[in-house]
Structure 1
């Protein structure tokens, strides 16, 4: 078998998820380098195309087959049913028209969705995003397959980009799945009524669906800072739990600091300060200023963290 054929076999191995097996990758890498290089007219090794390595669809399917991903998506889909059981055991009043988000949760399906997003926004949603992004590079390093993946070779920028895109898709799936299941469960149990805000405003079911859609988009954008930080930590460490835990810890500390009123305007610069700005959408008079500030802040944080991750990964000495 020529070197070109061995390189093509290595590319196909990456495409089909063999890069989770370090021994197989090492064998392919050694075989590909055992013969003289066949160089094409354009100066590239014959049979090798960087664009064929680590294809997006293949990587996405591989991640969807992982037990970690299945458990996370299963938990997200199960949460609305747990909340319904909690309200059924308790003494919820479906006719309540005033109170906080918990009190109004059983007033209608949109209110139930608002509660699901509200109770999960402090810890669960940031943890899910941190899990998917923190596990990108660190997991390959912990499996000792990263160096063989790069030796095939898959360009470093492509490894980071493809894995980040897949992590973003998985995060988006989880963030959309929660309100979608909550809405279906809410319609069955509490009906398709108006959304009632704590201030007493009533938003029609149709308008509330539009508001919830915009709220989901905002939550996805607002959690971009968690994604960028987890990706950076994933590049800096070979321990996936360290990357995930580090990002979650920063989110928790930021939320704690945001509760300290003595910090006054300094709290506006915390990445979690505008986490729940989407609540303003459940109103007849929407204030867009907090959501605009939150989206801008998160995008800036996420961009900085992402650029730092790309720079660090491009120069990192890969030993595992």
Structure 2
């Protein structure tokens, strides 16, 4: 607790101290700070180490690793046949390791994965404002565009780490419990194990790209509020609302413009006849939404009055 009654994050104070020590405040003949280089401020390595030390990051990554084991326990407690070759994705989850990975991505795709991305991006600027450390970062001085860029890159790397960690751990757990069999689709198509690994890689890349709109919206909300919970919650609520609207068939073709409409287009990869048009539409939708929202966030942060 600081003397003024404002809560500060110890990691944030450590970062500010490190940045201040890097930039020795010495005035030159022209009054400028001697040796100052904007490119040396708020280095990515410093920001990543700081984020990795935070308890929320450790809990998120820990839960991502734990989720496949929870699913295995659920199947062990319940009744499932490892030789099943028909049914839905849940019924086929124990058929092979690739099927188990598909289930893990399927059950996490509607809520958990968007929440993870929203948490990393929505908390990035708003948390600095809530700790009253953002104005000190800018006073070092760190250019505004660099603050936003470095924090967005760090958030993106952490999000990708979590999104990649889930299928990797699920594959390892699936190999131990269910073996390296073919990937079986609900339509009965069987994909060899070698090709199924490529499918998992492509599906993971698609999910990362598709969640770009969540990252952009979370970043926009993060620069617009001093409440991290509001930024994260707003992005998660937007994702839930979009999913609800996507279920209303009365909207017809309007649903195609919802950011979550193509969330599960990657499931088409688990078939002999892949609909690449749907996958391409999902990539385009995510890139457009993500780019527009990120540009709006940059514009908002560049013109915002920083008071905390």
TM-score normalized with structure 2 length: 0.93
User: What is the aligned partner in structure 2 of residue 21 from structure 1?
Assistant: 13
- Residues 240-275 of structure 1: CA distance to partner in whole angstroms, max 9, x if unpaired? 000000000000000000000000100000000000
User: What is the aligned partner in structure 2 of residue 246 from structure 1?
Assistant: 234
User: What is the aligned partner in structure 2 of residue 8 from structure 1?
Assistant: none
Q: 1:57 aligns with which of 22, 42, 45?
A: 45
User: What is the aligned partner in structure 1 of residue 4 from structure 2?
Assistant: none
Whichever of the two has the greater Rg, that structure is: 1
Write out aligned runs for 1:82-231 (5 A). Answer: 82-231=70-219
Go from structure 1 to structure 2 and tell me whether the alpha carbon gap of 1:93 and 1:268 turns closer, same or farther (over 3 Å shift). Answer: same
User: What is the aligned partner in structure 2 of residue 318 from structure 1?
Assistant: 306
Distance in 1 of aligned mates of 2:214 and 2:235: 6
Q: Which consecutive unaligned segments of at least 5 residues does structure 1 have?
A: 1-16
Distance in 1 of aligned mates of 2:32 and 2:282: 46
User: What is the aligned partner in structure 2 of residue 9 from structure 1?
Assistant: none
Question: Could you tell me whether the CA contact under 8 Å between 2:104 and 2:170 is conserved in 1?
Answer: yes
- Residues 262-310 of structure 1: CA distance to partner in whole angstroms, max 9, x if unpaired? 0010000000000000000011111111110011001100001000000
Distance in 1 of aligned mates of 2:116 and 2:34: 41
Distance in 2 of aligned mates of 1:166 and 1:290: 30
Distance in 1 of aligned mates of 2:28 and 2:257: 55
Runs of 4+ in 1 over 2 A off after TM superposition: none
User: What is the aligned partner in structure 2 of residue 10 from structure 1?
Assistant: none
Go from structure 1 to structure 2 and tell me whether the alpha carbon gap of 1:39 and 1:163 turns closer, same or farther (over 3 Å shift). Answer: farther
TM-score normalized with structure 1 length: 0.89
Q: RMSD over aligned Cα, in angstroms?
A: 2.0
User: What is the aligned partner in structure 2 of residue 11 from structure 1?
Assistant: none
